[in-house]
Amino acid sequence: MNILSQDKKTILNWSNTRQLQYENKKDENKKNYSRIVADYGGDFEYGLVIGNYKTEKRAKEVLGEITCFLSNQIGKTMYEMPKE
């Protein structure tokens, strides 16, 4: 299975990914946001950001959607990260 990044610039091969996690961050205006990062064999400091979301709750929901997709992917080969 593959995951298409939110900005549509990167396709992540799930079989080469060790794990996904969300991180809470602050932008340049000190506003909170959460991002989903893929660890594909390196340190999370250099992980691949595949989506940014306004809230931690939404990042958790997207991880849940990916989990459901993985367990029900019959005939499906691509999960597309939601814009929001």
Residue 45 pairs in a beta bridge with none
Residue 44 is predicted with a pLDDT of 52
pLDDT per position as a tens digit, 26-70? 999 999 999 999 987 655 556 889 999 999 999 999 999 988 888
- What pLDDT sits at residue 40? 74
The Cα–Cα gap between 3 and 6 comes to: 9
The domain spans of the chain are 2-75
Strands 2-4 and 78-80: parallel
Sign of the alpha-carbon dihedral angle for 29, 44, 49, 46: positive
Q: Which residues fall within 8 angstroms of residue 37, CB to CB, at 6 or more apart?
A: 20, 21, 22, 23, 44, 47, 48, 49, 50
pTM: 0.79
